[in-house]
Amino acid sequence: MEKTELKNIVILATGGTIAGKASSGTQMTGYTAGAYSVADLLAGVPELGELAHISGEQLCNIDSSSLTDALLLRLAQRCNELLAQEDVDGVVITHGTDTMEETAFFLNLTVKSAKPVVLVGAMRPATAVSADGPLNIINAVKVAVDAASAGQGVLVMMNDEIYSGRDVTKTNTANVATFKALNGGPLGFIVGGEVHYRSMRPHTLQSEFDVTGVTALPRVDIIYTHIGEDRVFVDAALAAGARGLIYAGSGMGSIHEAVEAALAEAVSRGVVVVRSSRTGSGIVAAGLERWQEQGFLYADNLNPQKARLLLQLALLR
Ligand code: ASP
């Protein structure tokens, strides 16, 4: 993206573990939260400059377990001031995780703007080996600049998941996957570096498919990967006349190398190959460039059995 097209995002820093300092890379408890300034945080993630025009502001630098009503009010008021400015497109608030859900909920009720407001924190201090803060900040800015975030209310971005401030709660004392929305789940995810909201997909009246007069659906087979897989089932499916193959890959739709050539051959014979996943949750994204070059499609958040039905309908057209 051209630098001139980048949005203006303010990082409003309040402290927390994301700005926390421990005495060693392996110290994960008993560190000082709110030890690093917003300038320090930003210096640690130069990649932000490619995503937005970033400016930093320090509202306070505290452990969020000691947040006060006065600070909460100041934060809400400062958000409203910033969001009212034409040259501000969104606000990312760095915050301790202990009371993040309270702040997010309060702001959700008091921010008067449709521009994105995203709270972000970390479960491991900035000094930790595998600190989660830097990537969380990058992801929070990605959420803040995403057009689909506007009007969604105040959001929390933690551990690749996007939550509503209305729903989110901290559920574990230490795990990086501590934030959950126990009554509904996340609003979206970051997968493959991209923001994905759980959106309502076209259905019924908007669906492009029409089965009027259709008497049979095209054959689409599911190939379920496993250790030691070979191409036998792909060959069998092709011999049976499959017009599509759903590959229930491992992880994010990974393909066993012993089967890849067979799948590529299938594509060259006009058979549609779609990568899905056997893991049971998550999104399958584009993956390796090689897979894209070979013409393999990917199933997004559809499990293999649903990807199969969608492909059967698509093949009718
Ligand atoms: N005690 C820290 C805080 O809430 C915990 C954290 O940020 O993860 O500021």
Q: Establish whether residue 17 lines the binding site of ligand 1, counting it when its CB lies within 6 angstroms of any ligand atom.
A: yes
Q: 293 C-alpha to center of ligand 1: Å?
A: 45
Question: Residue 125: what pLDDT?
Answer: 98
Choose between 185 and 1: higher pLDDT: 185
Q: Establish whether residue 33 lines the binding site of ligand 1, counting it when its CB lies within 6 angstroms of any ligand atom.
A: yes
E strands, 63-114, are 90-94
Question: Residue 152: what pLDDT?
Answer: 95
Q: Establish whether residue 188 lines the binding site of ligand 1, counting it when its CB lies within 6 angstroms of any ligand atom.
A: no
Contact 56, 38 (CB under 8 A): yes
Using CA atoms, how far residue 142 sits from 40, 145, 191, 196, in Å, is 20, 5, 11, 11
- Say whether pLDDT at 1 is over 80: no
Check residue 284 and report its DSSP letter.
B
Question: Residue 49: what pLDDT?
Answer: 97
State percent of the chain over pLDDT 90: 93
- Amino acid making up residue 188: G
Active site residue 17: yes
Contact 187, 152 (CB under 8 A): yes
Question: Residue 64: what pLDDT?
Answer: 97
CA dihedral 213, 215, 219, 224 (to 10 degrees): 100
- Say whether pLDDT at 115 is over 90: yes
- At residue 130, φ and ψ (nearest 5 deg) are 60, 45
Among residues 4, 14, 17, 97, the one annotated as catalytic is: 17
**How confident is the model over 300-312, as pLDDT tens digits?**
989 999 999 999 9
Using CA atoms, how far residue 173 sits from 23, 27, 170, 176, 179, in Å, is 20, 15, 8, 9, 10
Atom of ligand 1 nearest to the CA of 65: 4
| Structure-token pair, residue 142 | 């990605």
> What is the enclosing helix (H) or strand (E) of 82?
helix 69-84
For the chain, give the mean pLDDT. Answer: 96
Q: What share of the chain is helix, strand, coil (3-state, %, to 5)?
A: 30, 25, 45
Q: Establish whether residue 125 lines the binding site of ligand 1, counting it when its CB lies within 6 angstroms of any ligand atom.
A: no
Q: Establish whether residue 132 lines the binding site of ligand 1, counting it when its CB lies within 6 angstroms of any ligand atom.
A: no
Q: Output the residue whose Cα is nearest ligand 1's atom 7.
A: 96
What is the rounded CA–CA span in Å between residue 117 and residue 100? 13
- As a whole number, mean pLDDT of residues 54-58 equals 98
**How confident is the model over 260-277, as pLDDT tens digits?**
999 999 999 999 999 999
Question: Residue 317: what pLDDT?
Answer: 83
- Say whether pLDDT at 4 is over 80: no
Q: Output the residue whose Cα is nearest ligand 1's atom 3.
A: 96
- Say whether pLDDT at 160 is over 90: yes
- At residue 197, φ and ψ (nearest 5 deg) are -90, 145
Atom of ligand 1 nearest to the CA of 98: 4
pTM of the model: 0.87
- Say whether pLDDT at 199 is over 90: no
Q: Establish whether residue 312 lines the binding site of ligand 1, counting it when its CB lies within 6 angstroms of any ligand atom.
A: no
Question: Residue 203: what pLDDT?
Answer: 84
Q: 93 C-alpha to center of ligand 1: Å?
A: 13
Question: Residue 7: what pLDDT?
Answer: 98
Which one of 29, 31, 63, 124 would you pick to mutate in the ligand 1 pocket, going by the greatest count of ligand atoms within 8 A of its CB? 63
Question: Residue 34: what pLDDT?
Answer: 96
Q: Say which residues have a Cβ less than 8 Å from residue 265's Cβ, sequence separation at least 6.
A: none
- Total number of residues shown for the chain: 317
Q: Establish whether residue 96 lines the binding site of ligand 1, counting it when its CB lies within 6 angstroms of any ligand atom.
A: yes
